[in-house]
Chain A
Amino acid sequence: MPSIRLLHIEKSYSRSAPKAVEDLNLEIEDGDFLCLLGPSGCGKTTTLRMLAGLEDPTAGDIQIGDRMIVSVSGGICVPAEKRGLGLVFQSYALWPHMTVRENVEFGLKLHNMPRDERHAVADEVMSKLAIVQYADRYPNQLSGGQQQRVALARMLALKPDIILLDEPLSNLDAKLRLEMRAELKRIHREFGATIVFVTHDQWEAMTLASKIAVMSAGELQQLGTPDDIYQRPANRFVAEFVGSLPINVIALSGAEKATPLQAWMASVLVELGSPVNVECVGFRPEALKLSHCDAAASSQDLPDRLGTIIDILPTGGNWIIELSVDGEQIFAITGSAPDFASGDTIRLGLQARDLHLFDADGTRINDVQPVLTQV
């Protein structure tokens, strides 16, 4: 089964507008469940549509396996109908004038599959997705979730090697979303297909994907496993975009006099051996270790700092803690009920491996660990 390679892909819709996708290089390996993740308008849909053949790149090449399907400079462009990919639209795009069965069988018919075989295949897919009982209904007689399944069935009936999904869950309610998420995982397992999935919901991406490609403003920011993306964000954008609670980022320069947090980070960096070029330091809310101020700090830890609890917000299973460090606000989060109350003064600790250092361009400088071991 094929891998997909996008090489220097660029797309501009009009000469005046900024490029929707710029110099995108992406390799999707066989069997990957890849999520394209990014804020609205960053070019995810455009990328997916270029893969599907519904949009033509203005520069670059796309390869599937060893087949070149797009090459702008080489004059190659395989039309969408000949690419044999599966695509599910955000709007489902069911054909309103066909019944569910006709929708599912349409593609098979185009491939000249005999009637009986067609029926059998359609029945199989429809029963897998539990829509067999709606076979004779028209799309407008189905609920959103059922339509979603029909759209999936229509795509799966053709057994594509590569499945493209554009925010397929965004129109569903929370419960259905959970169900469909499981469904997609199952499809990925059972059909063994390569899946490219667009979403702007990072939680969805984290739970589903084997790899995530984070995009911003038409450019790829990072490609990696969910773990990579979360633990080792390649730049400040990724660090700030990923995470349900925003990451704490402290810029080191800017103010005339160092603020309390800046001062703290400066002392932390000294401990780390003063790596050069560090422009800002980030750490996730859960990386902040809170302890009573009389408890002793462990020897592994970096210099700590005292802070005051302003508020504790329970969010069902997690507790978001709003803190003030001499008037500067930061957030922490804990998974167990904290035994502090608002107004308490507590000790804030950090560990070197939880720190993310970025240079002036926002690029991640290095992993902190090696620096520390040098010390």
Chain B
Amino acid sequence: MVSKTGKPLRAPVRAMSPRVSSGTLHYWFRTKASDPTSLLALGLLVLFLYLIAGPIFLLLSDALRVHFPEQGRTGLPQGAFTSYYLERAMFSPISQAVFWRPLANTAQIAVGAIVVSLVVGAPLGWLLSRTNLPGKRWYSTALIVPYMLPSWTFALAWTTLFSNRTTGGTPSWMESFGFSPPDWLAYGQFPITMILALHYTPFVILLFGNALRQFDAQLEDAARIMGAGRLTIARKIVLPLMLPSLVSACTLIFAKALGDFGVAYILGVPINYNVLATSLFRAISTSQAGMTAVLAGTIVLFGVLSILIDMRLLREAGRFQTIGSKGAMDRTTDLGKWGVAASGWAMFVFIVSAAIPLMALALTTVMIRPGVFTPDNFTLAYWIGSDLGTTALRQGILLTPEFWRATWNSLWIVGSASLGAGFLGLLVGIAVVRAPMRSAGMMLRQITFLPYLVPGIAFAAAYLSMFAVPRGPLPALYGTYMILILAILADQMPFASRAGISAMMQLGKDPEEAARIVGAGWWKRLTAIVIPIQKGALVAGVMLPFISGIKGLSLVVVLAVPGTDLLTTYAIRLVDNGYTQASNAVVLMICLIAFFGTIGVQRLTKSKLSDGLGGK
């Protein structure tokens, strides 16, 4: 019965014909469906439908459903379909203030930030990747500092330096120097654009620098041999091939600037300059569910669009496949006498984007009047003093119980959320890479990626609409720690699951199969083989969300209440109350945690921050 030839083997006459029988079904169940990895995939799918897809869906549907307060005005029962909120946002008398102007402002800021960061960042990216810039190693960390720290830190520094009497409060350095900054310099579009630009410049440096580094020098050589001049090569060969990475950086900056809440809140709101994120924040804090949904939906829409554009460009870039081929190597341009000038420029960028803001923040915390450099103006009272003349905050920040409570909250809330995200990320990795049911894995991958398309503040709005009332097995969560943990966890899932998936992709099946062969069941393989091998990835998968969670503001600003303050929301509360020194002190602490945390993770995992960037 051997096919065609060979020694025939006598197979026993089989009892069953090979058509689909109950046995075959049973077999399918045995081999596929009852695989614990399939169950894991299904379990995770349900979990994330509940924690990610559910809230986002509810939020978006809120835009089209009548809410309780508008029952009278629309003449429709609660929950009925309506376009009332859309019309109100776009065509009513208030639409200019709540929708169109914020939209225009957002667009202008985003575009401005992109242009400035490209102009500043692209040359730096080239200097750091393809030249012998003096101090290159140091710069490649120093210039990234602004990205490690929360963007609104720089907004605080800006107010510390440039605010004027328009909003009152503690005088700024400029005022102390006897100069009253004009409004355009102190608030609104210009400072917001500049701060976002400087914050995202590292993005361009990293993405563009990486692309240049992988660029195959042979392509340049080939052109040079054919007699092309340097400029021609740059214009005709390098630039077109680099274009995808530049455009990718642009779309990512656009997506991020769209959802950035803190900077506009600190520098725009005091003079009634709104962007979509702050307009959304106001809608949330005034409990306008319908308007919240419309604004959040708009942000999500633009976010999705920019990511889609980015993915498309990346796919197109992949078609070239010229970068990163075998001949790629580091070819450095000798800057010669320009080295000093270039180094000076890099130093200038570092000083403006990191040194001055941080110095200003730090110095302010030990000055009674900011910016006054007389010996009697210096004090440690804002850190460790008592009996300050202020009404609410009578001790230095280190003696204030609320500060420590917020610190503790930050650590344990963000800590548990990151632990959860890290482990779930690895489990998602296992499910996506190993589950025999491909489709479940695909869905899981996409659902956990969703929060990436939804800026923090809109995601927070989604969480409010989902968990402000009891849903599923959970009671109403608003005002609890739980909503913070879940929201931070879900918000970090794109990174956590990406880390988990790539870790599992790299692992290969062999170690697990070898364990199967010697008799290890599914659970044993998970605990004795997979998790120990993935220890490093797991640490990174926990630490990265932790750092980004610790410094994150826009998500938690909506969800935290005074009782559940985190460091970031506590700092914002201090800003709101005009305690400049105290808020700066808190922000410095956040910066310290973020900075050393990032450096620590890089050491620990021997990875570069740049590896964690990019739009996939």
Contacts and interface: CB of A to CB of B under 8 A. Distances in A.
Interface stretch (A105-113, A288-296, A335-343): A105-113
Nearest to A86: B517
Nearest to A6: B9
A75 B26 contact: yes
A346 interface: no
Contact of A219 (B3, B26, B521): B3
A107 B519 contact: yes
A158 B517 CA distance: 10
Interface string B527-564: 01100110100000000000000000000000000000
Interface in B15-45: 16-18, 21-27, 29-31
A75 B524 CA distance: 25
Given A25-B11, A81-B519, A91-B510, A76 B3 contact: no
Given A80-B517, A81-B520, A110-B519, A361 B16 contact: no
A75 B22 contact: yes
B6 A220 contact: yes
Given A77-B31, A97-B533, A235 B4 contact: yes
Contacts of B231: none
Contact-residue size bin, chain A (C-beta under 8 Å from the other chain) = 35 or more
Contact of A73 (B16, B516, B521): B16
A56 interface: yes
Given A25-B11, A75-B30, A96 B511 contact: yes
Which of the listed residues B11, B529, B532 has the most CB atoms from chain A within 10 Å of its own CB? B11
Given A72-B24, A75-B27, A82-B519, A89 B5 contact: no
Contacts of B513: 52, 54, 80, 87, 89, 93
B529 A95 contact: yes
Contacts of A89: 510, 513-514
B392 interface: no
B248 to A, nearest CB: 33
Interface in A207-230: 219-224
B107 interface: no
Interface in B582-603: none
A71 B23 contact: yes
Interface in B105-125: none
Contact of A97 (B7, B25, B535): B535
A95 B514 contact: yes
A370 interface: no
Contacts of B14: 7-8, 61, 73
A23 interface: yes
Contacts of B511: 93-96
Nearest to B516: A80
Interface in B485-532: 508, 510-511, 513-521, 524, 528-529, 532
Which of the listed residues B29, B516, B519, B521 has the most CB atoms from chain A within 10 Å of its own CB? B519
A106 B515 contact: yes
A86 B14 CA distance: 29
B2 interface: yes
B1 interface: yes
Given A73-B14, A75-B27, A107 B518 contact: yes
A52 B517 contact: yes
A25 B1 contact: yes
Contacts of A79: 516
A107 B532 CA distance: 17
Contacts of B29: 75
Which of the listed residues A22, A52, A86, A106 has the most CB atoms from chain B within 10 Å of its own CB? A106
A36 B518 CA distance: 23
Contacts of A23: 3
A54 B511 CA distance: 12
B23 A81 contact: no
Contacts of B21: 73
A287 B524 CA distance: 58
Nearest to A102: B528
B11 A7 contact: yes
Contact of A221 (B6, B22, B528): B6
A190 B467 CA distance: 67
B435 to A, nearest CB: 14
Given A56-B31, A77-B30, A96-B511, A154 B518 contact: yes
Contact of A220 (B2, B12, B16, B515): B2
A121 interface: no
A273 B524 CA distance: 68
A224 B516 contact: no
List 3 A-B pairs, minimum CB-CB distance, nearest first: A75-B26, A107-B518, A93-B510
Interface of B: 1-7, 9, 11-12, 14, 16-18, 21-27, 29-31, 508, 510-511, 513-521, 524, 528-529, 532-533, 535
25 contacts: A8-B11, A8-B14, A25-B9, A25-B11, A75-B22, A75-B26, A75-B27, A80-B516, A80-B517, A81-B517, A84-B519, A87-B517, A89-B510, A93-B513, A93-B514, A106-B515, A106-B520, A155-B518, A220-B3, A221-B6, A222-B6, A222-B7, A224-B7, A363-B4, A363-B5
Given A73-B16, A77-B31, 8 more contacts: A73-B18, A81-B517, A97-B533, A107-B520, A110-B518, A220-B2, A222-B7, A223-B9
Interface of A: 7-8, 22-23, 25-27, 52-54, 56, 59, 61, 71-77, 79-82, 84-87, 89, 91, 93-97, 106-107, 110-111, 154-155, 158, 219-224, 234-235, 361, 363-364
